[in-house]
Amino acid sequence: MQVVNEELAHSLKGRDFLMLVDFKKEEINYLINLAIDLKKKQKAGETHHILKGKTLGMIFEKSSTRTRVSFEVGMYQLGGQGLFLSSNDLQIGRGESIWDTAQTLSRYLDGIMIRTFAHRKVVELARGATIPVINGLTDLSHPCQALADFQTIVENKGRLEGLKMAYIGDGNNMAHSLMMGAAKLGMHMSIATPEGYEPDSDIIVQTKANAAETGSRLVVTHDPKEAIADADIIYTDVWASMGQEAEQKEREVAFANFQVNDDLVKYAKKDFQFMHCLPAHRGEEVSESVIDGAHSIIFDQAENRLHAQKAIMAAIMS
């Protein structure tokens, strides 16, 4: 077993972490197990300075609570340092090319995390950098959150394979990352969105191909009750993400029948658990009774951003 772990550890060194679809099932499970191990060490007060003396540059073009704090604290706990870089403070905000920025930062740093809008920018940054690049969030994908979510499910349910996740709401970056991971890990997933708000069609095709290899099922529907039937995990997200504020009123109308509430969750398994990547708008995508109820594990998810991202950084930057 140790030999396999060493092989997986070696395969991850120096890699970019842009999308979960880029990783094998064994590699994702390795990261989940590493996150759980690092969490235990942190809770026990054990020093784990795996990245002693190393620095992560953190580029933020989108505001953040969980991403900034968890990456900065995570680097500190790993013995390194996180350096906050606002796009307003970088020359990239004044027209310097992404390639030049990536090349320059690669001479100073040991890794780069970027939280931005266009996924293309993350891909271009990774192409130009000679150090690992981590996707802290784009409009297309949110792999760090998804990894933390899968860690949370393992801790609460004991497994991933064969479980059913129902995602209710917008077919956004969160839906994409959960789809990719579920298909790789053998989880079944049903996604219910209003018409016109489905996940990206290319990602659906790619996910179904991966699902065929692991035996997982992917269903995309416009019926929340169909999606949530017999679900082990219920997941939702805000109806209007950052950059979509102008669509808020329009989306409130479109998503009116997609609120996760007491009436809807009756169709799930009795021991379902509720998840939300936060921030949440109580009374919109989810009722207070569900998000603040006994089935909710939203703050386990939030905490695990710290541990999952520490696993990512330790694996690719050490």
Handedness of CA 306, 311, 316, 318 (dihedral sign): positive
Say yes or no: 59 and 115 in one domain. yes
Say yes or no: 84 and 163 in one domain. no
Say yes or no: 75 and 163 in one domain. no
Say yes or no: 196 and 263 in one domain. yes
Per-residue confidence (pLDDT) for residue 243, from 0 to 100? 79
- In this predicted structure, the answer to whether residue 274 has a pLDDT above a threshold of 80 is yes
- Give the integer Cα–Cα distance in Å for 196 and 177: 19
- Paired residues of 59 in beta bridges: 85, 114
Greatest extent of the chain over all pairs of C-alpha atoms, in Å: 55
- In this predicted structure, the answer to whether residue 294 has a pLDDT above a threshold of 90 is yes
Task: Find the radius of gyration of the CA atoms of the chain.
Answer: 19
Mean pLDDT of the chain: 96
User: If you average pLDDT over residues 70-96, what whole number do you get?
Assistant: 90
Say if CB 208 and CB 191 are below 8 A apart.
Answer: no
Say yes or no: 186 and 87 in one domain. no
Per-residue confidence (pLDDT) for residue 89, from 0 to 100? 79
Say yes or no: 51 and 159 in one domain. no
Say yes or no: 134 and 156 in one domain. no
1 Cβ contact partners less than 8 Å away, ≥ 6 residues apart: none
- Give the integer Cα–Cα distance in Å for 210 and 111: 29
SS3 call for 191? strand
The enclosing domain of 186 has a CATH number of: 3.40.50.1370
Say yes or no: 46 and 83 in one domain. yes
Residue 264 DSSP class: H
Say yes or no: 150 and 204 in one domain. yes
Q: Which residue carries 């690669």 as its tokens? A: 106
Say if CB 9 and CB 30 are below 8 A apart.
Answer: yes
pTM reported for the whole predicted model: 0.97
User: If you average pLDDT over residues 207-232, what whole number do you get?
Assistant: 97
Per-residue confidence (pLDDT) for residue 4, from 0 to 100? 54
Domain boundaries, position 48: 2-141+303-317
- Paired residues of 234 in beta bridges: 166, 274
> pLDDT tens digits for 205-215?
999 999 999 99
Number of domains in the chain: 2
278 Cβ contact partners less than 8 Å away, ≥ 6 residues apart: 65, 66, 298, 301, 302
Per-residue confidence (pLDDT) for residue 10, from 0 to 100? 95
Residue 296 DSSP class: B
Catalytic residue numbers, as ranges = 115, 142, 145, 237, 277, 305
- Residue 2 banded pLDDT, cuts 50, 70, 90: very low
Determine phi and psi for 105, rounding to 5 degrees. -60, -30
User: If you average pLDDT over residues 99-119, what whole number do you get?
Assistant: 96
Per-residue confidence (pLDDT) for residue 112, from 0 to 100? 98
- Give the integer Cα–Cα distance in Å for 28 and 183: 12
Say if CB 188 and CB 165 are below 8 A apart.
Answer: yes
> pLDDT tens digits for 159-210?
999 999 999 999 999 999 999 999 999 999 999 999 999 999 999 999 999 9
- Residue 140 banded pLDDT, cuts 50, 70, 90: very high
* DSSP-assigned states of every residue in 4-40: HHHHHHHHHTT--BS-GGGS-HHHHHHHHHHHHHHHH
Per-residue confidence (pLDDT) for residue 3, from 0 to 100? 42
Query: C-alpha 285: how far from its chain's center?
Result: 19
Q: Which two three-digit tokens encode residue 315? A: 């694996």
User: If you average pLDDT over residues 126-142, what whole number do you get?
Assistant: 98
pLDDT-above-90 percentage for the chain: 92
Say yes or no: 163 and 56 in one domain. no
Say yes or no: 248 and 156 in one domain. yes
